[in-house]
Structure 1
Amino acid sequence: MPRQLPLPLLPREAVEIEPIPDSSNAVARTWLGDPTSWPAGRLALHGPEGSGKSALLAQAARRLGLRRLSGPALRGVPEGAPTALDDADCAAEEPALFHLINACAAGGHLLLMAGREPPSRWEAHLPDLASRLRATAAAPLGQPTDHLLRALLARHFARRQLRVEPAVQDWLLARLPREAAALAEAAARLDRAALADGGGVTRALARVCLAGLIDGSGEGAPEEDDDSVAGSGVASASMGTLL
């Protein structure tokens, strides 16, 4: 029997932001709300980068008592246990993923996975692994909506106790990549820059500290005063209900 190796636990700091209910993740939240509906106790979340897969997986892992593992570090012959596997489509070793699926099924344990594509499209050279992936229920996540991005950016600022005028937030949302990681990075940079500058967050400050992150395609247009309302292309919306 192949020897078992220590399991690669996913660092808690990798995903700490709670997911925000949104139409883009409604289907996935429905599936996650009823684990008894998962065929063979197995479910895979899938969606584009920045759609919130990791946040949903982490929240479900805490609620359901699943150990959290990382696909890129998955090796050996994992023991069966209730498991949440992030980046499962990037598993370091196909046999390890195959053994994990089998071990969870044999023990009647829940297995929640996340990847960019549906599991039926994950690269699998082992025929038996490909068969099990095709039989895995898939819950899609769409691109984040304007509402979700606005609420997420506001949450980052609130957690840092960073006051940012709505007009500046509009300006940022019109230029930042539509990804959760980009919003988190922007908030961290602005927080450091505002502390160093000793002032508030303005568009002028954002242009400097977010260089390389924001879209500069509109920078040639005449600028309004930072206190004026900036046209963002993002419809005004309240933060909505956050988890």
Structure 2
Amino acid sequence: MAAPVRGGRQFALPLSLPASSARADFLEDASNAEALAWLDRPGEWPLGRLALFGPAGVGKSHIARATAAAQGWRFLEGPALRGLPPPGPGGTVLDDADAVAEERALLHLINLCAERGERLLLVGREPPARWPVGLPDLGSRLRATASAGIGRPEDALLGALLAKLFADRQLRVAPDVRAWLLQRLARDAGTLAEAAARLDRAALAARAPVTRSLARAVLAGWEGFGEAADDDASETFAEAASPGTAALL
């Protein structure tokens, strides 16, 4: 379960969890706190629009979908945006906005939302002021758009996420095994979720607990898994992997 923060509210993990797009499934840490605060106050967005940016794998699309669902807004994909978009139900989320098929379509969308007083959330890898656009009018509007970034998740958040993924599957994995996994798995939520699914299937088939030996046998050769120095996990990872970590986020 997500940890309650800020007077009982719950936030979402800044990571792509395929099982849910609910805001209640998110946890907050330093990597996403500013972005989540802005997303909670769409009425305060300057000019009625906001850009959410960050590197691949930090869950921008997941957070964007959750925001669209919570607000009742439509969700669009930048590469598929063409022509004059229809009006949205109070707001629009445009994912991969920095990869739009037609710049003029994005300009029309920004203008349309401004004319109708609708909120617009743009999602990309860089702040909109850095997007390479050719239309001067579009460039000026992007530079005037407020932006909030999502960074790479900290070790504690990754540990809490991995513990949650196992708990959601009712799969008990010892803290030292989770710490060992965190040292070897790619640092993104999709990889952690896939690893948890693979280990769950293997443990069920073998009718055995998830150990280092089983995990190595199941994950060896998979692109999301890499061998590290075979030493004991650091205290940082051990603490990150413990169930109590979520209470700190």
TM-score range, shorter-chain basis?
A: 0.7 to 0.9
CA distance in 2, matches of 1:234, 1:76: 49
Q: Do structure 1's residue 162 and structure 2's residue 167 form an aligned pair? A: no
Distance 2:127 2:177 in 1: 37
Q: How does 1:126-165 map to 2 (within 5 A)?
A: 126-165=135-174
Equivalent residues of 1:21, 1:241 under 8 A apart = no
1:239 paired to 2:245: yes
* Residues in 1 aligned to 2:247 and 2:67: alpha-carbon distance in whole angstroms: 18
Q: Cα–Cα, structure 1 residues 48 and 88, in superposed 2: closer, same or farther, change >3 Å?
A: same
User: For 1:43 and 1:14, how far apart are their aligned partners in 2?
Assistant: 26
Secondary structure of the 1:239 match is helix
Q: Provide the C-alpha distance between the structure 1 equivalents of 2:116 and 2:108, rounded to a whole number of angstroms.
A: 12
What pairs with 1:1-243 in structure 2 (closer than 5 Å)? 16=21, 18-81=25-88, 82-211=91-220, 212=222, 213-218=224-229, 221=230, 230-231=233-234, 233-234=236-237, 236-237=239-240, 238-241=244-247
Change (3 A) 1:47 1:72: same
Q: Which runs of 5+ in 1 are unaligned?
A: 1-11, 223-228
Deviation at residue 21 of structure 1 after TM alignment: 1.0
Instruction: Flag the 1:125–1:15 CA change in 2: closer, same or farther, 3 A.
Output: farther
Contact 2:239 2:245 in 1 (8 A): no
The 10-residue stretch of structure 1 (19-28 or 48-57) with the greater mean CA deviation from structure 2:
48-57
Q: In angstroms, what is the RMSD of aligned CA positions?
A: 2.4
After TM superposition, the runs of 4+ consecutive aligned structure 1 residues lying more than 6 A away are none
Cα deviation per residue 1:78-112 (whole Å; 9 max; x = unaligned)?
A: 11321111221122222222221111111110011
Which string of whole-angstrom CA distances, capped at 9 and with x for unpartnered residues, describes residues 128-155 of structure 1? 1111111111001111011211111112
| Larger displacement relative to structure 2 (38-47 or 184-193) | 184-193
TM-score, normalised with respect to structure 1: 0.83
The structural deviation recorded for 1:54 is 2.1
- Residue in structure 2 matched with residue 5 of structure 1 by the alignment: none
**CA distance in 2: counterparts of 1:160 and 1:138, whole angstroms:** 36
Q: Which amino acid aligns with 2:197?
A: A
Cα offset, 1:14, TM superposition: 8.7
Report the TM-score when normalising by structure 2.
0.81
Aligned residues: 224
- 5+ long unaligned stretches in structure 2: 1-16
Aligned equivalents of 1:191, 1:84: Cα separation in 2: 34
In structure 1, distance between residues paired with 2:202 and 2:82: 41
d(CA) in 2 for partners of 1:56 and 1:168? Answer: 29
Deviation of residue 75 (structure 1)?
2.2
